[in-house]
């Protein structure tokens, strides 16, 4: 990896799967899905992302909270679970309270030392993302929360990454994306940003496309250290 001058640029952090753990919903799913809760959590996340990709392609935007509700309904239908309106609402409320990964605060401390602006860049609604960051006690690290609501599409649409052009004169050269989601890293690299893949799960595989991350790390502090060296 070549050292680039990136001081005073911007570091955009993805939210779901990067700062907060989408598998954290498994406990709440236990009440209705019992031993199938881990499978339900995984299917819920997969369908949620599939719906975002399809809606972006079709140009039929609805907000991420709606996507998440529709994906949950798919999961309940598919797994044959009869979910009351009350239970569905409870699960969607729990989704607004997903836990942060334990290394997030120490990782943000390291990233702060780069001198670059930290922002959240998410498919999520501004309201939901703010709530998650506040609950985790990390909202203060971010100069802004950029939501796809502003462009009414979803990652990896180019217009989502271009939201960062407001924050640095040198977009995309001095813009970094940090994400646990390979599709997001590839989306950023395709637009000329720098990108770091937070490989939170040792068994996860990066899509073998023509784009590679500039940094791969398994924890956010480790990733922050690498990024600091390059800045
Ligand atoms: C997000 C999804 C991609 O936060 O995790 O944008």
Question: Candidates 147, 181, 182, 186: which one to mutate for ligand 1, based on the most atoms within 8 Å of Cβ?
Answer: 181
Active-site pick, 14, 21, 103, 184: 14
Q: Is the pLDDT of residue 203 over 60?
A: yes
User: Binning pLDDT at 50, 70 and 90, where does residue 1 land?
Assistant: very low
Which protein residues are within 6 Å of ligand 1, measured from CB? 14-17, 122-124, 155, 181, 184
Tell me what the mean pLDDT of segment 173-193 comes to: 98
Distances from the Cα of 34 to the Cαs of 39, 41, 211, in angstroms?
10, 12, 40
For residue 123, give the ligand 1 atom closest to its CA. 6
14: annotated active-site residue: yes
Q: How confident is the model at residue 231 (pLDDT cuts 50, 70, 90)?
A: confident
Strands ordered across the beta sheet of 194-198? 144-147, 117-122, 10-13, 175-179, 194-198, 215-217
Q: What is the mean pLDDT of the chain?
A: 96
**pLDDT on residue 128:** 98
Percent of the chain surpassing pLDDT 90 = 95
Quick check: 2 pLDDT over 50? Answer: no
Model pLDDT, residue 7:
53
Is residue 207 scored above 90 in pLDDT? yes
- Name the residue with the closest Cα to ligand 1, atom 5: 16
Q: Give the pLDDT band (50/70/90) at residue 3.
A: very low
pTM for the structure as a whole: 0.95
Beta carbons within 10 angstroms of residue 115's beta carbon? 12
CA distances from 100 to 7, 126, 179, 231 (A): 27, 17, 14, 26
Q: Which is the closest atom of ligand 1 to the Cα of 121?
A: 6
- Say whether pLDDT at 171 is over 50: yes
Give the position, in ligand 1's atom list, of the atom nearest the Cα of 52.
3
At residue 96, the 3 state secondary structure works out as: coil
Helices (H), the chain: 26-33, 37-58, 64-78, 85-95, 104-112, 126-135, 158-161, 182-190, 220-230
Does the pLDDT at position 5 exceed 50?
Answer: no
Q: Is 112 helix (H, G, I), strand (E, B) or coil?
A: helix
The two tokens of residue 120 are 């959240």
Candidate from 23, 24, 121, 123 with most ligand 1 atoms within 8 A of CB, to mutate: 123
Query: Residue 123 Cα, ligand 1 centroid: separation in angstroms?
Result: 5
Does pLDDT of 138 surpass 80?
Answer: yes
Q: What is the pLDDT of residue 6?
A: 44
């Amino acid at each position: 990896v070549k050292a680039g001058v990136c001081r005073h640029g911007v570091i955009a952090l993805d939210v779901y799967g990067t700062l907060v753990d989408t598998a954290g919903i498994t406990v709440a799913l236990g009440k209705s899905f019992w031993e199938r809760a881990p499978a339900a959590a995984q299917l819920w996340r997969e369908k949620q992302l599939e719906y975002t990709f399809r809606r972006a392609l079709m140009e039929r935007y609805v907000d991420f909270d709606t996507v998440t509700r529709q994906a949950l309904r798919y999961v309940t239908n598919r797994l044959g679970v009869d979910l009351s309106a009350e239970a569905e609402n409870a699960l969607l409320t729990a989704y607004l309270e997903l836990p942060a990964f334990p290394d997030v605060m120490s990782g943000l401390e390291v990233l702060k030392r780069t001198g670059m602006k930290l922002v959240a860049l998410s498919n999520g609604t501004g309201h939901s993302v703010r709530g998650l960051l506040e609950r985790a006690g990390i909202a203060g690290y971010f100069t802004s929360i950029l939501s796809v609501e502003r462009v009414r599409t979803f990652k990896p649409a180019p217009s989502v990454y271009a939201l960062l052009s407001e924050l640095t004169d040198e977009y995309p050269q001095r813009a970094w994306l940090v994400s646990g989601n390979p599709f997001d890293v590839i989306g950023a690299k395709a637009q000329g940003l720098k990108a770091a893949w937070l490989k939170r799960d040792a068994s996860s595989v990066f899509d073998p496309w023509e784009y590679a991350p500039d940094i791969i790390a398994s924890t956010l502090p480790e990733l922050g250290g690498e990024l600091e060296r390059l800045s």
